Chains A and B, each alone.
Chain A
Amino acid sequence: MTSGALLPFFALMSSLLASVVIFALPERMHRLRVLINLGAAGVKVLLVGVMIWGISEGQQYELAFDMVPGVQFVLRADALSMLFAGLSAVLWLLTTIYAVGYLEHSPNRSRFFGFFSLCVASTTGVALSGNLFTFFLFYEMLTLSTYPLVVHRGTEKALKAGRNYIIYTLTGGAVLLLAIAWLHGLVGDLSFREGGHFADVDAALHGPLTIIFILLIAGLGVKAALFPLHGWLPQAMVAPAPVSALLHAVAVVKAGAFGIVRVVFEVYGLEAANAMGLLFGLALVAAFTIIYGSVRALYQVDLKKRLAFSTISQVSYIVLGLCLLGPVGAAGGLVHLVHQGIMKITLFFCAGNYAETLGVHRIDELDGAGQRMPGTSLAFTLGAFGMIGAPPLAGFITKWTMGTGALAAGMDWVLLVLVTSSMLNAAYFLPILHRLWFAGQHEPWPHERRWGRLETSGWLLWPPVVTAVLMVVAGLFAAMPFSPLAWVQLIVAREVAL
C-alpha cells in the first residue's frame, strides 16, 4: 500500500475520528470540541486539495480489499469523486463554523456535532466509493446519521418529520439494495468505470437491466428528491439551519444525485443507457420535477420551505443534464452539483441568520431586513440571482452550458424547461428581494438579538458571505483552470467519449 492509496482513507478518517472523539467529549468542553471540529474540517480540505492537485496531474488513488469473496470494498479518488468530495469538504468547514455560532448555548451539542461529523464522513465515503456495494454502505450510513440531526430539537413536529424521513430513505435504501443485489447476481461485482460496463452487453439482458435501472433510480431518487419521491424534504426543514444548509442543500440530496451520475456514467455508460432507451424517461421525470418544485415553491410562505422546494427543483437540473446525451449537457448537469451546492447553502445560511437574529421565519416578516442585516441580505440577493441564472453568477454558467448541450443534442424542449424554471425562480425570489431592500420595516422584529458591532454573530455572518463570494468567483472566472466548470470539463472528457 503506497501513501497515495492512503489519502482517500485519511480523508474519510478525518471526519470519522472527529466524530468518535466528539461523542466521547463531555458536553461542557466547548472550546476543545470547536477546535477538533475545525481542525478536522481543515485537515480534510487540505487532503482533498492535495488529491485534486494530484488527479489533475494524472495520479490515481485507490484502496481496495475483499469484504467477502466476490464483494470488494473500494475507496478511490477520481476526478468525479473529487467534484463531490471537494464540495462537501469546503462546505463542511464553513458549516461547522456556522453551526458553532448557531448552536451557542443550546443543549446536546456533543450529540449534534458527533452525528454531524459522522454525516460528513458518510458523504466523503459516498464520494470516494469505487463500486456500488461500497457506495451503498455509505449511502445507508448517511441515512442513519442524519436522522438524529433532523429530530435534534426533539419537538413533536421534528419527530414526525424524522419518522417521515426515515421511512422514505430506508425504503429507498431497500429498493437500492435489491437492485444492487440483482445486478450482482446478473453480471457480478461492478466497480465504477469511466464509460460504463454495458457498451456491448447481450441484448437478452436489456429487459432485466432496464428494470434494474428503474429500481436503482427509484432508490437513489428518494434522496435526490425526484418527483414523486420528494415528500420528506420540505418536512425535514424543521431541522436546525446548519443541518438544512449542509445536509439538505448539499450532502443528502447530492448523495442521491451523485449516485445517479455514477449509475448512468460508470455502471451503465451514457451510450448504453441511451441505447436501451432509459434516459428519455429519466429526462422527463427530471424536467417535471424542475417545474413542479418551482411551482410549489411559489406558494410557500415559510422561507425555509420555499428554499426546500427550490432545492427539489434545482437538484433535478443535475439529473436532466446527464440525460442530454453529450459532453456539453453532462458538463452542465455536473457543474450544477457544485454551483447549486454553493448557492443553496448561501440561501440557507441567510435564512438561518434571519431566524436567529431577528426571529423571522416567514417571508412577509422580512420587510426592511436589508437595512438591519446588509451583509446577510447581500449574500441572499446574490444567491437568489444565482438561482435565477442571472449572469455572471454560477447559476448562469450552469444554464448556459446545459442550454448549449440541449441544443447540440437536438433536445430543444429542454430550453423551454430551463427558461420556464428561471422565470418561476424569478417569480419566487424577486419579491423577497424587494421586501429586503425596498419595503420599510413596519413592525418590530419578532425576536431580535444583538451582537455588538456586527449585524449578527460573526460565526453566522462570515460563512454566507464566503459562499456568496465563491459563487461569484465560480461564475465570473468560469474559464480559469480549477474552476468548477473547468474541472467538470476534465471529467467529461474522460467519461463521455461520444
Chain B
Amino acid sequence: MAFYRYSLPLLPLPALFLALLTEPGWTLQLPWLLLGGLWGMDELRQTFLLLTALLWTVAGVFATGYLKDRHLGRFWVFWVLTLAGNLGLTVAFDVASFYSFFALMTFAGYGLVVHEGTNEANRAGRVYLAMAVVGEMAILAGLLMAFSAAGSLLLAELPAAVASSDRRWLIMLLLLTGFGVKAGLPLLHFWLPLAHPVAPTPASAVLSGAMIKAGLLGWLVTLPIGQVSLPVWANLLVVLGAVGSLGGAVLGVRQMRPKAVLAYSSISQMGLMTLMVAGALASQAHSGAILAVLGLYVLHHGLAKGSLFLSTAMSLPSGRWQRMLMWLLIAMPGLALAGLPFTSGAMAKLAMKDVLAPSGLDFALAEYLPVLMTAGAIATMLLVWRFLWAFGARAHTGGNARGLWLGWSLATASSLLVFWWLPLPSGLPAKAWVSAMLDQAWALVWPVIVATILAGLVWRINRRGK
C-alpha cells in the first residue's frame, strides 16, 4: 500500500525534468512502434508538457494524503495509465502514438471519475464514457481523413494537407468536435460538470487543469492553423467561445458545490482559449504569436485551476490570522484567473488582449473580441466569488494531513510564484511584462471591481429574501 501511495508523486518527475531541462527540438525515432513512431518536443509541446507534468506531480503529492486505503491499488493503476496517456500525447509527433495516448487517457480517466463508486459517480461516468466514445470516433475519422490527405503519419504534415484537402470542412468539423468533447466546447460539455467534481479531488485537479488541455492541444496540432485564413471557421469558434465563456459562468454561479463551480469555470476559461484558436485560424500572419500566448494562458489556467481544485479538500485552521491567510491563499489563484495585476492571469490577459486586437484580425466578429474578453473577465470574477462563497459554506475547521498541506502549498506556490520562473513560450508580446501591468492596472482591475459589486448586490438581495 505504501508503494502505491508514495509512488504517485514520483511518476511524472522524469517528464517534468524533460520539460524543464531540455531544449525544445529533440526527437526520438521509434520505427518499430505501431505504424512507425516519432516522439519529440517543440516549443508548444514544452509548455503543455511542463503544465501536465507539474500539475500531475503536485496532485500526486496531494493524493498521498488524500486517498484512503480502500481500492488504492485500483486507483493507482488508473492514475498511472491516465498519466501515461496525458504525458504521451503531449510528446507524440506521429498520428498513431498521439491517438493511442489520447485514447488511453480517455478510457483510463473513466477509472478516476467513477472511483468513489457512488450512484452519482457511476452516472457521471456513463455520460463521460458515452461522450468520450463519440469524441474518439470523431477524432479517428478526422485523423484518418487528414492522414489520407497528407499521406504521412507525422502530425506536422497534417495541417497543410487539411488546408488543401477537398474534404477540409468535414475534417475540421470532425476534429473540432472530437477534441471539443475533451475541451468542453459548448454542447459537447455535458459530461464535464458531472465528471470533474465527482472524481477524487487530486483527480479533479488534473482532469480540469491538465487533461482538458489535451483537447486544445489536439486542435492546435491538427487544424490548419497558419496555413490559410479561415474567417468562417473563426466566426464559428468566436460564437462557441463566447457561449462557452459566458454560458459557463451563467450556469456556474447557480452551483452549490465548490467543485461544480470550478468545473463550469473551466468551461468558461476554455471558451476564452477558444477565442484565441479562432484568431489563430483567421489570421495566417498572427497565428504564431497567438499560439505563444495560448501556451502562456494554458500554463496560467492549469496551475491556478489545479490549486483551486485542491483547496476544496482543505480544512481551515482555527486561529484567526492563520484562517485569514489561508483564505487569501485560496482566493489568490482565483483572482489570478480574473486577471488581478501581478498575477499570472494579468500577464496572460494582457498578452491575449494584445494579440487579439481587432486591427490585426480580419473577420466579421473580430471587433467583438475585446468586449468578449472584458465580459469574460467579469464572468470569471463572479465565478470566483461564487466559488469562495460555496467553499466557505461547506468548509470544515480542523487539521489537514501532511500530504494535503504539501500538495496544496506546492500547487498554490506554483500558480503564484514558481510560474514566473518557468520557461515561458518565446515570442510573447512585449506588453505582457510587469511594467505593462502598472500602466494597465485600471483596465485589469475594473472588471474585478464590477464583478465584486455585482456579487455583493446579489448577496444582499438573497439575504433580504430570507
A-side interface residues toward B, CB under 8 Å?
385, 389-392, 396-397, 399-400, 403-404, 407-408, 415, 419, 422-423, 426-427, 430, 434, 437-438, 440, 475-480
CB distance from A416 to the nearest CB of B (A): 8
The residues of A that contact B133 with a CB separation of less than 8 Å are 422-423, 426-427, 430
A475 to B96 CA separation, bound complex (whole angstroms): 11
Does B33 contact A477, Cβ atoms closer than 8 Å? yes
Asked if B137 and A419 sit within 8 Å, CB to CB, the answer is yes
Q: Is B111 an interface residue (CB 8 A)?
A: yes
CB distance from B137 to the nearest CB of A (A): 5
Q: Given the interface contacts A391-B100, A404-B147, A475-B34, does A419 sit within 8 Å of B107 by beta carbon?
A: no
**Cα separation A85 to B96 with both chains bound (whole Å):** 30
B66 within 8 A of A: no
Q: Which of B74, B111, B144 has the most CB of A within 10 A?
A: B144
* Bound CA–CA A422/B135 (angstroms): 12
- Evaluate contact between B137 and A400: CB separation under 8 angstroms: no
Chain A residues with Cβ under 8 A from B35's Cβ?
A: 397, 400, 478-479
Contact, CB under 8 Å: A408 / B114: no
Contact B103–A391 (Cβ < 8 Å): yes
Most chain B CB within 10 A, of A392, A397, A422, is at: A392
- Enumerate chain A residues within 8 angstroms of B125, measured Cβ to Cβ: 434, 438
CB-based nearest B residue for A371: B74
Considering the complex, which residues of chain B in the window 90-120 have a beta carbon less than 8 Å from any beta carbon of chain A?
96, 99-100, 103, 107, 111, 114, 117
A480 and chain B: residue at smallest CB distance? B32
* Cβ-defined contact, B74 with A476, below 8 A: no
Kindly state the separation between the CA atoms of A389 and B141 in the bound complex, as whole angstroms: 12
A240 CA / B111 CA spacing, docked (Å): 34
A391–B153 Cα gap in the complex (Å)?
Answer: 15
Query: Could you give, for residues 244-274 of chain B, a 1 whenever the CB lies within 8 Å of some chain A CB and a 0 otherwise?
Result: 0000000000000000000000000000000
Complex: A151 Cα to B35 Cα, angstroms: 44
| A408-B148 CB under 8 A given contacts A391-B34, A391-B103, A437-B111 | yes
- Provide 17 A-B residue pairs closer than 8 Å at the C-beta atoms, listed in order of the A residue: A390-B103, A391-B100, A397-B35, A399-B140, A403-B141, A404-B144, A407-B144, A422-B133, A423-B134, A423-B137, A426-B133, A437-B74, A438-B111, A478-B34, A478-B35, A479-B35, A480-B32
Cβ of A486 to closest chain B Cβ, rounded Å? 11
Q: Residue B144 contacts which of A397, A403, A477, A479 (CB distance < 8 angstroms)? A: A403
6 other contacts beyond A391-B103, A404-B148, A434-B122, with CB at 8 A cut-off? Answer: A392-B34, A397-B34, A397-B35, A407-B148, A438-B114, A438-B122
Contacts of B33 in A (CB 8 A): 476-477, 479
Q: Closest chain A residue to B97 by CB distance?
A: A392
In the complex, A42 Cα to B31 Cα: how many Å?
A: 32
The chain B residue sitting closest to A440, CB to CB, is B117
How far, in whole Å, are A422 and B178 apart by their CA atoms in the complex? 15
Determine which of A390, A434, A476 lies in contact with B34 in the assembled complex, contact meaning CB atoms within 8 Å: A476
Q: Determine how close the nearest CB of chain A comes to the CB of B107; give it in whole angstroms.
A: 7
Known: A400-B35, A479-B35. A419 touches B96 (CB 8 A): no
Residues of chain B lying within 8 A (CB to CB) of residue A479: 31-36
A404: nearest residue on chain B (CB-CB)? B148
CA distance A177 to B96 in the complex (A): 45
Is chain A's binding surface mostly helix, strand, loop or mixed?
helix
Chain B neighbourhood of A477, CB < 8 A: 32-34
With a cutoff of 8 Å between Cβ atoms, the chain B residues found around residue A480 in the complex are 32
Please determine whether A415 and B141 come into contact, CB atoms closer than 8 angstroms: yes
- Residue of B with least CB distance to A426: B133
B101 → A minimal CB distance (Å): 9
Q: Considering only CB atoms, which chain B residue lies closest to A405 in the complex?
A: B148
- Contact status of A407 and B145, CB under 8 A, knowing A426-B133, A437-B74: yes
In the assembled complex, B129 has its CB within 8 A of some CB on chain A: yes
Are B148 and A422 touching (Cβ within 8 A)?
no
Q: Are B100 and A438 in contact (CB under 8 A)?
A: no
Which residues of A have CB within 8 Å of B96? 391-392, 400
Distance (whole angstroms) from the CB of B17 to the closest CB of chain A: 26
Give the size range of B's interface with the partner: 20 to 34
Interchain CA distance A419-B133 in the complex, whole Å = 10
What residues on A are CB-neighbors of B107 within 8 Å? 385, 390
Chain B residues with CB under 8 A of A403 = 140-141, 144
Residue of B nearest to A381 (CB): B107
CA distance A389 to B114 in the complex (A): 23
A166 to chain B, nearest CB (A): 40
CB distance from B79 to the nearest CB of A (A): 14
A480 vs B32: C-alpha distance when bound (angstroms): 5
Q: Please name all residues of chain B whose beta carbon is closer than 8 Å to the beta carbon of A438 when the two chains form the complex.
A: 111, 114, 117, 122, 125
Docked complex Cα distance between A403 and B148 (Å): 9
A50 to chain B, nearest CB (A): 25
Tell me, in angstroms, the Cα distance from A419 to B140 when the chains sit together. Answer: 8
B417-449, CB < 8 A from A: none
B4 to chain A, nearest CB (A): 15
User: Could you tell me the distance between the alpha carbons of A423 and B178 in the complex, rounded to whole angstroms?
Assistant: 14
A476 / chain B contacts, CB cutoff of 8 Å: 33-34
Query: Which residues of B have CB within 8 Å of A422?
Result: 133, 137, 140
Which residues of B (1-43) have their CB < 8 Å from a CB of A? 31-36
On chain B, the residues within 8 Å of A396 by CB distance are 100
Contact partner, A392, options B32, B100, B117, B140, Cβ 8 Å: B100
Distance from A402 Cβ to chain B, minimum over Cβ atoms (Å): 10
* A396, B103: Cα distance in complex, Å: 11
A328: nearest chain-B partner, CB-CB:
B148
Question: In residues 159-175 of chain B, which contact A (Cβ within 8 Å)?
Answer: none
Closest to A485 in B: B35
Q: Which residues of B contact A423 (CB under 8 A)?
A: 133-134, 137
A479–B129 CA distance with the chains assembled, in angstroms:
30
Report A-chain residues with C-beta under 8 Å of the C-beta of B129.
426, 430
User: A440 — which chain B residues lie within 8 A by C-beta?
Assistant: 117
Rounded to whole Å, the gap between the CB of A251 and the closest CB of chain B is 29
How far is A476 from B136 in the complex, measured between Cα atoms in Å? 19
Residue numbers in B under 8 Å from A434 (CB-CB): 114, 122, 125
* A415 to B167 Cα, complex, angstroms: 14
Given contacts A385-B107, A391-B96, A404-B147, contact A419 B34 (CB under 8 A): no
Distance between A198 CB and nearest chain B CB, rounded to angstroms: 30
- Interface-centre pick from A407, A437, A438, A477 (highest chain B CB count, 10 A): A438
> Knowing A426-B133, A476-B34 touch, does A400 contact B114 (C-beta < 8 A)?
no
Closest A residue, CB atoms, query B138: A419
Q: How far is the CA of A400 from the CA of B141 in the complex (A)?
A: 9
A476–B125 alpha-carbon span in the complex (Å):
28
Question: Chain B contacts of A385 at CB under 8 A?
Answer: 107
A305 to chain B, nearest CB (A): 23
Q: With the chains together, A438 CA to B113 CA distance in Å?
A: 11
Q: Once bound together, how far apart are the Cα atoms of A446 and B43, in whole Å?
A: 58
Taking CB atoms, residues of chain A closer than 8 Å to B114 are 434, 438
- Residues from chain B with a CB closer than 8 A to the CB of A437 are 74, 111
Chain B residues with Cβ below 8 Å from A389 are 140
In Å, the complex CA distance between A407 and B74 comes to 41
Q: Whole-angstrom distance between the alpha carbons of A113 and B31 in the complex?
A: 43
Q: Closest 9 interchain pairs by CB? A: A391-B100, A407-B148, A403-B144, A392-B100, A426-B133, A419-B137, A479-B36, A390-B103, A480-B32
Cα distance A392–B74 when bound, in Å? 22
Q: Give A260 Cβ to nearest chain B Cβ, in Å.
A: 25
Question: How far apart are the CA atoms of A480 and B140 in the complex, in Å?
Answer: 23
For the complex formed, measure the closest distance between the CB of B408 and the CB atoms of chain A, giving whole angstroms: 28
Contacts of B103 in A (CB 8 A): 390-391
Whether A400 contacts B144 by the Cβ 8 Å rule is yes
Q: Which residues of A contact B34 (CB under 8 A)?
A: 391-392, 397, 475-479
Q: Which residues of A contact B140 (CB under 8 A)?
A: 389, 399, 403, 419, 422
Q: Contacts of A397 on B, CB cut-off 8 Å?
A: 34-35
Kindly list chain B residues whose C-beta atoms are within 8 Å of the C-beta of A430. 129, 133
A391 vs B139: C-alpha distance when bound (angstroms) = 12
Cα A50 to Cα B147 with chains together (Å): 37
Q: Tell me which residues across on chain A come within 8 A of B147, comparing CB atoms.
A: 404
Contact partners of B137 in chain A: CB under 8 A: 419, 422-423
